Each structure stands twice: as structure tokens, then as C-alpha cells.
Structure 1
Amino acid sequence: MSYSPEKVHELSVLFDLYENMLAPRQKEVLDLKLHEDLSLMEISERLKISRQACEDALKRGERTLRKLEARIGLRKRISDEEDRASRLMERLSSMDSDNWREVRDMCLKILSPVLSGGDAEYGV
């Protein structure tokens, strides 16, 4: 069971966010796979479990991480906040004495969902 670098990155991010919500065996197997890049055979030898048990724990752990993200959405929220911060920096770096009011209004529009406690999309 080999993982592409993209899949390792995606699962590592989800693992960091949700690892404490995984079953102990799933957490252990995913940690060894993602952070130590061990094969299923190496993981099974280290944990003294069958290769099949290792593969099952890995699949269940992946499925659990994806379900948690679908339900809770922390990764998406973090990504949205990073996008919002990037747009704010872009707007603020373009500010000068002639356009400061316009830039201020755009920045307030970008920040308004955060300030109101909402999660609404923003069109700036």
C-alpha cells in the first residue's frame, strides 16, 4: 500500500488535526505510516500484529479522518482563514494615501464574517 506525496501530506494534516479522535491502534499505525514512512510489513513487525490487521487499521484510520473532516471541517476552516489573511495582506499592501478608504472598506468586508461570528462567504 503505497502513498503519493500528496496523499501523505493530506493525511498528515488531517492526522495532526484529529489524531486524538482516532482509536489507539489506528493512531499508532497511521503515525508510523505517515511520519516514519514504514511499509505495512515493517509496521506489523514493530507492533507485533499481522499485516492484515495493520492494513485494516490503516484503512479504518484513513476513513475516520476523512469522515471527521467532512463532519467538523477544521482543515477547510483553516484554509479559508489563510485565504482571508492572504487577501487582507494583498489589499493592505496596495494601500496608499489616495485609496486608503476604499482599501479599509474592502478589508472590513473581508473581515465582517469573522467579526460577526459567522462563517459566510465573502465576495472580495
Structure 2
Amino acid sequence: MIEDIVQKTLLFDFYGQLLTDKQRDIVEMYYSNDLSLSEISEQIGISRQGVYDALKRAETTLEEYETRLRLVEKFLQQKFILAKVSLMLDEIIGAEQDDISKIKDRIRNIKSFIERLE
């Protein structure tokens, strides 16, 4: 459940500006402001079912953008690679000076990870 909310929030962060104003407002109220469907319906003056339908359409639209553009997937992959590179650099910093061959291997690995970012 939490992963689903995080995923939808990431999709909204990346593609939210591509939604209609009404969809964007509903998604923001629901996920960012943690309002219930009833609270949202009261604020914008439509039925609870109307809010639910608009929210589901917006979520579907966001998922379709991700299917086509894969920006969130690329972002998460880059975050993972940068975390790995950071760990490898920490190992190099902590290495003894007589471990030159290990340091060179780590640098080669870092280079290959960085090349994946392109």
C-alpha cells in the first residue's frame, strides 16, 4: 500500500502538469493533502463518485505517461546507480594504499555504472 502511494506520488511529481487542472487538484488533495473522497467532493462541489472517477482517470493517465516515457523508471535506476557508486567511492576512500589493484577495479566498476546513466 505504501509503495503504491509512493509510486503514484512519483508519477504525479513527474507528469502532474500534464493532467487537467481539475484532475491535478483532485490528485493533489487526495495524495498530498490526505483528504478523503468526501472531503474533496465537498470542497470542489461534485459527488464523491465523481471525485473517485476523476481520481481513477488521472491515475490511469499518469500510468500511461510512464508506460510511454519511463521517466520515473529512469529516475529510480539513476538513484540506485548513484547509491552504488557512492558506496564504491567510500570503499576506495577507506582502502589502504597498498591495495592499488583493488582500487583500480573499483574505479573501473564505477566507470561502468556511470556509463549506464547516459
Indicate the TM-score class for this superposition, using the shorter chain for normalisation: 0.7 to 0.9
Identify which of structures 1 and 2 has the higher relative contact order when contacts are C-alpha pairs closer than 8 Å and 6+ apart: 2
Q: SS of the counterpart of 1:38?
A: coil
Tell me which of 110, 114, 121 is aligned to 2:113: 110
1:68 matched to 2:96: no
The answer for unaligned runs of 5 or more in structure 1 is: 118-124
Give the TM-score taking structure 1 as reference length: 0.82
1:23 matches 2:20: yes
Per the alignment, residue 10 of structure 1 pairs with: 7
Shift of 1:63: 0.4
Alpha carbon RMSD of aligned pairs, Å? 1.4
Match of 2:88 in 1: 91
The answer to which structure has the higher helix fraction is: 2
Q: Report the TM-score, using the length of structure 2 for normalisation.
A: 0.86
Q: How many residues align?
A: 112
The list of structure 1 runs, each at least 4 consecutive aligned residues, that deviate by more than 4 angstroms after superposition, is none
